[in-house]
Amino acid sequence: MEYITVKETSEKWGLGIRMVTLYCTEGRIAGAVRKGNLWLIPEDAAKPEDRRRKKASIQEEKEPAAGKDNDVYEPNKHENAWPFQSLYENKELFVEIVKHFPYPMHICAPDGTMLLANEAYLKFAKISNPERLYKKHNILRNPNLERWGIKDFTVRAFQGEAVYAYDVKVPHQEIVDRLGDDKELVYGSMYHNMTALPIRDSNNKLLFIVFIFITSRYYQDREEIIKGKEYIDNHWQEEFDIDKLAGIVHMSRYHYTRLFKQHAGMTPYNYYQEVKIGKLKEKLCDTDLSITQVFEECGVDYNGNLAKKFKEKLGMTPSQYRTMMTQK
Q: What is the pTM of this model?
A: 0.43
pLDDT band, residue 59 (cuts 50/70/90): low
Cα 273 from Cα 170, distance rounded (Å): 33
In the chain, the amino acid numbered 141 is R
What is the spatial distance between Cα 150 and Cα 88, in angstroms, rounded to a whole number? 29
**What would the pLDDT profile of 73-124 be if each residue is shown by its tens digit?**
343 444 444 444 344 446 677 777 787 888 999 999 999 999 989 999 998 8
Q: Can you tell me the distance from the alpha carbon of 306 to that of 299, in angstroms, rounded to the nearest whole number?
A: 10
Beta strands in 152-246 (DSSP E): 163-170, 189-200, 206-219
Residue 220 pLDDT: 53
Q: Where in the chain is the domain with CATH 1.10.10.60?
A: 222-328
* 270 — pLDDT class (breaks 50, 70, 90): very high
Give percent above pLDDT 70 in the chain: 82
Question: pLDDT tens digit string along 214-258?
Answer: 887 665 546 788 788 889 988 998 999 999 999 988 888 998 898
Q: Are strands 206-219 and 189-200 parallel, antiparallel or unpaired?
A: antiparallel
Q: Where in the chain is the domain with CATH 3.30.450.20?
A: 80-219
Taking residues 25-44, what's their average pLDDT? 84
CA distances from 206 to 84, 203, 313, 328 (A): 12, 9, 51, 63
| Per-residue pLDDT, 281 | 87
Give me the chain's average pLDDT, please: 80
Per-residue confidence (pLDDT) for residue 91, from 0 to 100: 67
Specify the CATH number for 222-328; select among 3.40.50.620, 1.10.10.60, 3.40.640.10, 3.20.20.70: 1.10.10.60
DSSP-based helix, strand, coil % in the chain, nearest 5: 45, 15, 35
CA distance 171 to 194: 13
What pLDDT was estimated at residue 74? 40
Q: Tens digits of per-residue pLDDT, 144-183?
A: 888 888 888 899 999 989 988 887 878 777 888 888 887 6
Phi and psi (nearest 5°) for 271? -65, -40
Handedness of CA 288, 289, 290, 291 (dihedral sign): negative
CATH superfamily of 80-219: PAS domain (3.30.450.20)
